[in-house]
Amino acid sequence: MDSPRVRIVFAGTPEFSVPCLEACRASGAEVVAVYTQPDRPAGRGRKLTPSPVKQAALAANIPVEQPETLKTVEARETLAAYQPDLMVVVAYGLILSRKVLAIPRLGCWNVHASLLPRWRGAAPIQRAILAGDNESGVDLMQMEAGLDTGPVLLERRTPITRDDTGGSLHDRLSLLGADVLTEGLRRVIVGEMLQAHPQSDDGVMYAHKLDKAEARLDFTRAAMALELQVRAFDPWPVAEGEIAGENVRIWAARATEQTHQHTPGSVIAAQRDGIDIACGEGVLRVTALQRAGGKRITAADYLNARPELRSAR
């Protein structure tokens, strides 16, 4: 007689979480319910929009729960009624109390987009790029009551290259998360107990939530620090700065170690391959940008609209 399938409740909200939901479905376990954030207003019309995880769950005919909180007795009773063996949490957006963590027989797993204990918290992907880290990854963690403090079960690593943006690293880590979760589920389903490795007390860093004000470029800073801002804040909230009196969004830029005597923020050269802006240390070459009300364009297209900049020296 076949043994009963492992029953999983999946909790997640953004696009990042969807590959992990699909990994649960493909694992041989039974996804008995999906928990996700309530529908939120989105787009110009501010129409209530289901999360990417909810859309994927409905397409797969999986029951969806969208509580505002899991702190009530009713919410815990609803979760317990699904009789989960395991709860898998990936960028869900709600804190799970000890009482919730105790409901599944095997506890709760979290797929977290950093190499813990570095970058616990809300924005680990962008914070890693902002800090100039050379490496990132995903950890499969056994959840406990603290914020991303639980022991690590499995890990996958990936280098952060100079071409990486918040968006490209997000997409890569999303797939790595599904990969490490697949491995964990494969081993648990056949009855293996994963070894939990406690996190070190050294090297703890918190990845605080992004604030749009952080996206403003201060050209008195070093060019490399500004390049990291531009890369980290693509695709949101997108870096902003002033080019010869016009405020623009800056989508792509590269720092150079060029020495100069120019005032920070001044345009010192403007060619088809980029607009060079003096910084407190070095030069930032802007290669893709966006004018107010416009779309993303190349530096060459921008200079077609502002030909006077071509004579900058």
Q: Which residue has the higher pLDDT, 146 or 56?
A: 56
pLDDT for position 46: 84
Whether the Cβ atoms of residue 254 and residue 287 lie closer than 8 Å to each other: yes
Residue 306: which residues within 8 A CB-CB, separation 6 or more?
Answer: 244, 246
In a domain, 133, yes or no: yes
CA–CA gap between residue 283 and residue 219 (Å, rounded): 9
Q: Which of 22, 20, 8 is nearest to 140 (CA)?
A: 20
Average pLDDT value for residue range 126-148: 97
- The response to whether 58 counts as a known ligand-binding position is no
Do both 229 and 139 map to the same domain? no
- The response to whether 41 counts as a known ligand-binding position is no
> Residue 132 has which token pair?
């100039």
Residue 134 has pLDDT above 80, yes or no: yes
CA–CA gap between residue 265 and residue 248 (Å, rounded): 13
In a domain, 280, yes or no: yes
CA–CA gap between residue 173 and residue 112 (Å, rounded): 9
Residue 59 has pLDDT above 80, yes or no: yes
Do both 135 and 259 map to the same domain? no
Residue 205 has pLDDT above 50, yes or no: yes
pLDDT for position 10: 98
Average pLDDT value for residue range 146-167: 97
- What value does the CA radius of gyration of the chain take, rounded to a whole number of Å? 23
- The response to whether 217 counts as a known ligand-binding position is no
pLDDT for position 224: 98
Do both 286 and 181 map to the same domain? no
Instruction: Give the domain-ending residue among 192, 207, 222.
Output: 207
In a domain, 273, yes or no: yes
pLDDT digits (tens, 9 = 90+) for 26-56: 999 999 999 999 999 887 788 899 999 999 9
Whether the Cβ atoms of residue 91 and residue 14 lie closer than 8 Å to each other: yes
- The response to whether 17 counts as a known ligand-binding position is no
Whether the Cβ atoms of residue 287 and residue 239 lie closer than 8 Å to each other: no
Mean pLDDT for the chain?
Answer: 95
In a domain, 288, yes or no: yes
C-alpha distances in Å from residue 95, one per residue of 101, 104, 105, 235:
10, 16, 19, 26
pLDDT for position 229: 98
Q: Which residue has the higher pLDDT, 66 or 312?
A: 66
Whether the Cβ atoms of residue 277 and residue 243 lie closer than 8 Å to each other: yes
Average pLDDT value for residue range 266-273: 95
> Residue 240 has which token pair?
């902003």
CA–CA gap between residue 82 and residue 61 (Å, rounded): 15
Do both 26 and 146 map to the same domain? yes
Residue 3 has pLDDT above 70, yes or no: no
pLDDT digits (tens, 9 = 90+) for 254-264: 999 999 999 99
Containing structural domain, residue 89? 7-207
Do both 221 and 109 map to the same domain? no
Do both 235 and 100 map to the same domain? no
pLDDT for position 2: 58
Do both 172 and 74 map to the same domain? yes
pLDDT for position 1: 46
Instruction: Give the domain-ending residue among 179, 207, 235.
Output: 207
Do both 287 and 151 map to the same domain? no
Do both 220 and 194 map to the same domain? no
247, 252, 258, 260 alpha-carbon torsion, rounded to 10°: 0
pLDDT for position 245: 95
Instruction: Give the domain-ending residue among 162, 183, 207.
Output: 207
CATH number at residue 279: 3.10.25.10
Do both 141 and 125 map to the same domain? yes
Number of structural domains found in the chain: 2
Average pLDDT value for residue range 5-12: 97
Residue 295 has pLDDT above 50, yes or no: yes
In a domain, 86, yes or no: yes
CA–CA gap between residue 44 and residue 9 (Å, rounded): 33
Do both 164 and 69 map to the same domain? yes
pLDDT for position 45: 80
In a domain, 68, yes or no: yes
pLDDT digits (tens, 9 = 90+) for 170-202: 999 999 999 999 999 999 999 999 999 999 999
C-alpha distances in Å from residue 65, one per residue of 56, 61, 106, 196:
13, 13, 21, 30
In a domain, 1, yes or no: no
In a domain, 2, yes or no: no
> Residue 247 has which token pair?
């405020």
Label residue 22 exposed, middle or buried (CB < 10 Å: 0-12, 13-18, 19+).
Answer: middle
Residue 312 has pLDDT above 60, yes or no: no
Do both 260 and 134 map to the same domain? no
